[in-house]
Amino acid sequence: MRGTMMEFPLTLPHLLDRAGFLFARSEIVSRCPRRTTTRTTYADFHRCARRFASALTRLGLQPGDRVSTMMWSHATHMHLFFGIPCAGGIINPLNLRLHPQELAAIANHASSRFLIVDDALLPVYESLRNAGASFEKVIINRYAGGEVPPGFLDYDELLAAEDDNFVYPKLDENDGAAMFFTSGTTGCSKAVVYTHRSLVLHGLSLAMADCFALSHNDVVLPIVPLFHANAWGMPHGAAITGAKFVLLGPNVDPESILDAIVEHGVTFAAGVPTIWLNVLCALEKYPDRWKFAPLRALCGGSAPPLDLIRALDKRGIHIMHAWGMTETSPLATAPLIKPHMRDYSEDALYEFRGKQGLAVPLVELRVMRPENPEDENCEKAAEAPRDGKTPGELEIRGPWIASSYYNCPDQSHRWSSDGWFRTGDVAHMDEEGYIKIVDREKDLVKSGGEWISSVDLENSLMGHPAVKEAAVIGVPHPKWQERPLAAVVLKEGAAATPEDLRAYLAKTFAKWQLPDAFVFLTEIPRTSVGKFKKTALRQQFANWSWE
C-alpha cells in the first residue's frame, strides 16, 4: 500500500519564500571593498533573488542552463545562490583565486551562458576572456560603486526593470541547482552538480542539534568563500533557519574576521584550519584587542592540529571539526560527543575532537580494504574491522553525495559497483562509528612497505611552540621508496633546529616515522582555498638528494 502523504518537492523556492516571509527582518551584512558595511534583510534577499530569476527568464534562460558568478562573499552573491536555481538555472560560482587558464577551462567545462561579475573583478574577467572563456551575456554587479562599461549589462538595472510577480517555473527536486568544481588539491578540478533536493537536505542537516545546531538565534559568518565547495551549505542553512548572515567580501585577514565577530556578535563561523591558525596568532599577538562571547567554529577542509583546538578553546572559540568533500556537498560528519564520553580525561576528549566524528544523519560511511590484505593482487574489497586502527579507503553514500562527475570521461573507478563513492581518503573507524582520517591516499608517505601519516606528523609539529606551519611530504628515496620531509615555517622571532624538531616528534612517533629532513621556508604554498598545496611542495623537492 502506498502512503497517503503529499508529494512535496524539496526545492529552493520553498527555502527562499520561507526566509523572505518568516524571517523578513533577519539581516544579511556585507563588508564592501573599502571596508564599509552594508546591511540588508531577508526581505531584500527574497525580493532581489526573485527579481533576478525574473530577469534571467526574460534574458532567455532555459531549464538547466549554467550561470557562472565571479564574486566575493556578499549579499548579492547570496541572492544569486537562490535567484539562479529558482529560475531553473544552475549557479556555478567561479573560484576567482585560480589561475586564469584554469578558470577558463572550468568556465568552458561548465559552458555557462551568463556570467555575473563584481565590478572590482573586471580585470580577472578580462584575463579569463583572454584565456579563452566566453559568455553570451556578462552582467556587472556594482559592488565597488564602479561604472558599467559598454557591452555589459547592469545588475541593478536588470532588477529595477522587474516587478515582484515572478512565478517560479515547475521544478523537479532532482533538477540541477548548483555546479561546483573540486578545488584540485591533488589533481585536476572535476565538476559536481548538486540538486535542489540535495541542497535542501544538506542545509537542513546543518540545523540538527547533534550536527551544527544552526538556528534562528545564530549569527553566521562563513569565512570560507561562497565560491568554495558549496560554501559549506551556509547559504542554505542560513535561509532555512533565518539566521543573521555576515559576509566578509574580500577581507579574510584575521583582523577583519575578529572585528566582524565582535561587531556583529557572530556565534557560528566556518573556515579551514589555516584561517583559524591565523586567528589564533592574531589573538596571541593582541590579547586584549577583541572581546567576544564564545562562538562555535566549524573547521574542515583538512584536520586542525589538537594544539590549535586547545588554544582556541581558551579564547572562547570552540572548534567543531568536520570532514567533507566537494563531492559530499560537503558536510558529511559532525563532532558529536556521546554522554558516556563526558567522563573521559581532558586529553582523551581532545584526541576525540581531533577525529572527524560521526556520519551525519542520512549519510553512511564505511572503510574498505582488500579482503586479503596479505595478497598484493587481491582485488576484492571487504569492510575493515571497526577497531579504531585498521586503515582503509573511506567510502560514502547518501542523498547529498555525488553519483557522478559532470562530463568526465574516466570516473567509473570512483564509484563502487554497489553505488558507494570512493573518497580517496584513508581512514579508520572505531566500534562506535567515529572516523579518523589518516591521510589522503596520495599524501601518505609509503616508506619500506609501511604507511606514514603526513597529517599526524604535521599536526604534531604545529604543536611545537616555535612552529607556525608545517607540511610533510613523501620524497622518493632509493632504498625506502619514500621518506618524509617536513617543510616548516617558524613563528616570528622563534628559533628551532632540525634536531629540536626531531626530538620533539620522537616523544610520540616511532623512529622510522620521523622525517629524515626538515627544511625551513617563509611560507607553505597554499591552494586557492588556503589548504597546504603538497603538489607544489613535491615539485619543489622533486630533486631532493638524501645524501
Report CA-CA distances (Å) from 27 to 12, 227, 456: 19, 21, 41
Say how many residues touch ligand ADP, by CB under 6 A: 21
Beta partners for residue 395, in sequence order: 366, 422
Closer residue to ligand ADP in complex, CB, 53/426: 426
Four-point Cα dihedral 526, 199, 356, 210, nearest 10: 140
Answer yes or no whether residue 356 interacts with ligand ADP by CB under 6 A: yes
Annotated catalytic residue, options 137, 442, 446, 491: 446
Annotated catalytic residue, options 182, 274, 326, 423: 182
Answer yes or no whether residue 456 interacts with ligand ADP by CB under 6 A: no
Known catalytic membership, residue 383:
no
Q: Minimal CA–CA distance to 524: which of 464, 472, 462, 471?
A: 471
3-state secondary structure of 226: coil
Q: For residues 267 and 112, what is the distance between their CA atoms, to the nearest angstrom? A: 36
C-beta atoms surrounding 339 within 10 Å: 6
Supply the DSSP symbol for 59: T
Answer yes or no whether residue 185 interacts with ligand ADP by CB under 6 A: yes
Known catalytic membership, residue 395:
no
Known catalytic membership, residue 451:
yes
Closer residue to ligand ADP in complex, CB, 249/300: 300
Least Å from the CB of residue 326 to ligand ADP: 4
Report CA-CA distances (Å) from 270 to 39, 226, 263: 21, 11, 17
Q: For residues 324 and 115, what is the distance between their CA atoms, to the nearest angstrom? A: 28
Least Å from the CB of residue 306 to ligand ADP: 12
Closer residue to ligand ADP in complex, CB, 69/183: 183
Least Å from the CB of residue 514 to ligand ADP: 22
Question: What radius of gyration do the chain's Cα atoms show?
Answer: 24
Least Å from the CB of residue 179 to ligand ADP: 14
Report CA-CA distances (Å) from 366 to 88, 370, 420, 442: 35, 13, 9, 19
Question: HEC profile for 330-378?
Answer: CECEECCCCHHHHHCCHHHHHHHHHCCEEECCCCEEEEEEECCCCCCCC
Q: Which residues of 252-272 are buried (b: 16+ CB within 10 A; e: fewer)?
A: bebebbbbbbeebebbbbbbb
Supply the DSSP symbol for 238: H
Closer residue to ligand ADP in complex, CB, 278/302: 302
Answer yes or no whether residue 453 interacts with ligand ADP by CB under 6 A: no
Answer yes or no whether residue 303 interacts with ligand ADP by CB under 6 A: yes
String marking each residue 216-245 x if it binds ligand ADP according to CB under 6 A:
-------------x----------------
Out of 300, 305, 391, 392, the residue judged to bind ligand ADP by CB under 6 A: 300
Least Å from the CB of residue 335 to ligand ADP: 10
Closer residue to ligand ADP in complex, CB, 189/513: 189
For residue 107, give every residue at least 6 positions away whose Cβ sits within 8 Å of its Cβ, in sequence order, or none: 68, 92, 94, 115, 128, 133, 135
Answer yes or no whether residue 183 interacts with ligand ADP by CB under 6 A: yes
Question: HEC profile for 282-306?
Answer: HHHHCCCCCCCCCEEEEECCCCCCH
Out of 88, 89, 100, 184, the residue judged to bind ligand ADP by CB under 6 A: 184
Answer yes or no whether residue 100 interacts with ligand ADP by CB under 6 A: no
Out of 323, 415, 480, 504, the residue judged to bind ligand ADP by CB under 6 A: 323
Answer yes or no whether residue 194 interacts with ligand ADP by CB under 6 A: no
Known catalytic membership, residue 327:
yes
Which residue, judged by CB position, is nearest to ligand ADP in the bound state? 185
Least Å from the CB of residue 360 to ligand ADP: 13
Answer yes or no whether residue 52 interacts with ligand ADP by CB under 6 A: no
String marking each residue 518-547 x if it binds ligand ADP according to CB under 6 A:
-------------x----------------
Burial class (CB in 10 A: 0-12, 13-18, 19+), 345: exposed
Active-site positions read 182, 327, 446, 451
Q: Which residues bind ligand ADP (CB under 6 A)?
A: 182-186, 229, 300-303, 321, 323-326, 356, 423, 425, 437, 440, 531
